[in-house]
Structure 1
């Protein structure tokens, strides 16, 4: 008789060999990502001795440069084979990351961080056709599984980076950078064990079909507004906790850990309940109101005793993370279902524009509204999420109608398989 843990593991582990290879590659990659996310900014300020303002400006420039790369590289993956394009993006990112150790002024920093950030965005788009091909009957659920794996890898990577931060020496930080580069390169090696995907030719119509799909672009923009929620836990809450509450500072780590563990535990389960465009639209709406509730709870933590502020903040993080897993599951569903198979990489590259814009402008918006304005700003941000989640339902309906109009345009097969 199979034990309960074994049954859970059976449901979570991909059934196909290629799916497991992709998951292993993703885990190795996110170990490095976890180190960089935790201590990357500190590396440039503490080792390269760049002012924090220059680091922030450089990261914004890198984020803006990477926006267009996702679309272009996604198109290349569709036309020339996703496996090779994705592996190339990973190797370029590894080389650019290793270049951090020689970035000792602003312009060299902008060059290497732009290359690394652009290659990462390109890799996300190039990976999309692989997920569709090897994700089984429900690639959306497989994508949810990969997100859970990502949180495992990032968590372990963050712990590894903590040792470098604790040591505080240039040598320790340099070793962290080399380890991040090596893990990124190693994740590309796993792709050699994947079977190649034959490229497909475009259907009749414009070359950049995703950029002409206005309903899909509208959905991308709305998802980008919702994606600002990812910066609530990493930017707004830490600054709010320190400046406006009596909660202990160690609670910053506790809030991050709470959110990460909830994503690991519940992302796949949430994805199982989002299996159609209507259910995806409904999940967006639920996520928006969950974010509104979380923002309201956070606003109440100012001016109360530390223990009460801590309890409210943890509660808010739990509510926010419930919204986060709904938002992610909804995004996986609608972005895959509305993307034609012959242009998966291009469409998912376009869909990534929303998250890229949120990455570039979300921190500044949250700081302005929630930190500088204070309590009223939290209500404005919460209302923004709730209204956006409701508006997605209309956008999904229009995008679905548009996809049906183009469903009669099948892609031509490639003249020869990928080598």
Structure 2
């Protein structure tokens, strides 16, 4: 299990803010769509269209706000994103038509993407010698918070009244406001002075953009458990429906318990590329097992699916650890927010396009689609180490480390960086 509390005071403040934030996120992820369809009575098609529009809007926000966090102070910018998210979420109460809903959900989703980019410089500044490991700790905290939020949302769905759904929205907004308030306890991070060169330097870093694209393809795996497996269970497998909740529970427990441990050995970009490769193989195996569950007896289907979920979750741990490492290690310190905002584009595209791709391949096409999806994950994992090596050869220098435009010495020739003491 990860340590209950991080080592330093600032890390504890960030973790506390993240925990409160993700309790609110758990409320919305579990019952947000139901609020708009059951309480506001918007057609499901309109809700899906509005969420798709919000997803595309959020893609561009992270880069711009990440740069603001670098140049104007990450704590203040991150707090502002949480305040905007609070106001936008509270606005759900007044979203009684399609366009008001689109406006509110675009603001909330955009603020969420902006917040992830703005938080990155804080993680790097206060994360010690190994901010990637602190990021892994935050992912465990995130899963705990979302699980608690999901439990509260379950009560709302069970009651099912308009008042209960409105309480869910209010509780969601309060959680984001409380998350912003906790940040008052965090010492501010000084802005990074502007440097000569292009303003959108991250968008000109082709190796980093390639890694972003590869991570986006790999990030489709997050939708396997929440979109593909539930539909597969309903349409193709003779297994009890409670298995949908069982798969999510197994995944959540393993992530909470093992994400920090899985990240300990991923301590360099090369190790990050290798973690991507291992995760691709794990996803190929899990997709194959899921495909084999179709038409199998109930006991065999349950065994195959639960084994697939465990293997998939191991791959998820490696994928997350690899992403934490390469996204931080290959980003120059003076542009952390901007680079991490760009890296978030991959996950944003997976969030927007992943469900449709999985449904088309794995549900509509059926068993062959699972093998195609697994092969796509495996090939992406094989390409990641090559992309990492390219990015290392062309990694931009931080100010003061050498002449502008000079390529950084490959890590193999540099002195190793000391690691954070393991808890």
TM-score by length of 1: 0.94
Q: In structure 1, which of residues 295, 305, 325 is the aligned counterpart of residue 287 of structure 2?
A: 295
Could you tell me how far apart the structure 1 residues matched to 2:44 and 2:360 are? 18
Indicate yes or no: 2:200 matched with 1:208.
yes
Shift of 1:12: 5.0
Partner of 1:140: 132
Shift of 1:202: 3.0
Partner of 2:421: none
| 3-state SS of paired residue (1:199) | coil
Could you tell me how far apart the structure 1 residues matched to 2:291 and 2:403 are? 51
Q: In structure 1, which of residues 396, 399, 408 is the aligned counterpart of residue 402 of structure 2?
A: 408
- Aligned pairs for 1:1-400 within 5 A: 11=3, 13-400=5-392
Contact 1:285 1:390 in 2 (8 A): yes
Could you tell me how far apart the structure 1 residues matched to 2:230 and 2:31 are? 16
Partner of 1:417: none
Shift of 1:163: 0.2
Deviations 1:66-102, CA, capped at 9 Å, x for gaps: 0000000000000000000000000100110011111
Residues 30 and 157 from structure 1, CA distance in 2 versus in 1: closer, same or farther, beyond 3 angstroms? same
Contact 1:203 1:409 in 2 (8 A): no
Contact 1:204 1:409 in 2 (8 A): no
Contact 1:92 1:119 in 2 (8 A): yes
Could you tell me how far apart the structure 2 residues matched to 1:231 and 1:302 are? 19
Shift of 1:14: 1.1
Moved more, 11-20 or 37-46: 11-20
Could you tell me how far apart the structure 2 residues matched to 1:131 and 1:285 are? 26
Shift of 1:409: 5.1
Deviations 1:203-260, CA, capped at 9 Å, x for gaps: 3321111011010001100100000000000000000000100111111000001100
Partner of 1:5: none
Could you tell me how far apart the structure 2 residues matched to 1:180 and 1:83 are? 21
Contact 1:16 1:136 in 2 (8 A): no
Deviations 1:106-130, CA, capped at 9 Å, x for gaps: 1111010000000000000000000
Residue segments in structure 2 that go unaligned for 5+ positions in a row: 405-423
| 3-state SS of paired residue (2:395) | helix
Could you tell me how far apart the structure 1 residues matched to 2:89 and 2:43 are? 20
Contact 1:45 1:52 in 2 (8 A): yes
Could you tell me how far apart the structure 1 residues matched to 2:274 and 2:331 are? 19
| 3-state SS of paired residue (2:358) | helix
Could you tell me how far apart the structure 2 residues matched to 1:73 and 1:106 are? 27
Deviations 1:137-173, CA, capped at 9 Å, x for gaps: 1100000000000000000100000000000111111
Shift of 1:402: 0.7
Could you tell me how far apart the structure 1 residues matched to 2:4 and 2:263 are? 12
Partner of 2:408: none
Could you tell me how far apart the structure 2 residues matched to 1:141 and 1:159 are? 28
Could you tell me how far apart the structure 1 residues matched to 2:355 and 2:380 are? 18
Residues 153 and 138 from structure 1, CA distance in 2 versus in 1: closer, same or farther, beyond 3 angstroms? same
Moved more, 151-160 or 194-203: 194-203
Shift of 1:30: 0.4
Moved more, 357-366 or 398-407: 398-407
How many aligned positions are there? 403
Shift of 1:136: 1.2
Contact 2:89 2:169 in 1 (8 A): yes
| 3-state SS of paired residue (2:195) | coil
Could you tell me how far apart the structure 1 residues matched to 2:42 and 2:166 are? 16
Moved more, 354-363 or 307-316: 307-316
| 3-state SS of paired residue (1:221) | helix
Contact 1:62 1:117 in 2 (8 A): yes
Could you tell me how far apart the structure 1 residues matched to 2:162 and 2:186 are? 38
| 3-state SS of paired residue (1:228) | helix
Residue segments in structure 1 that go unaligned for 5+ positions in a row: 1-7, 411-419
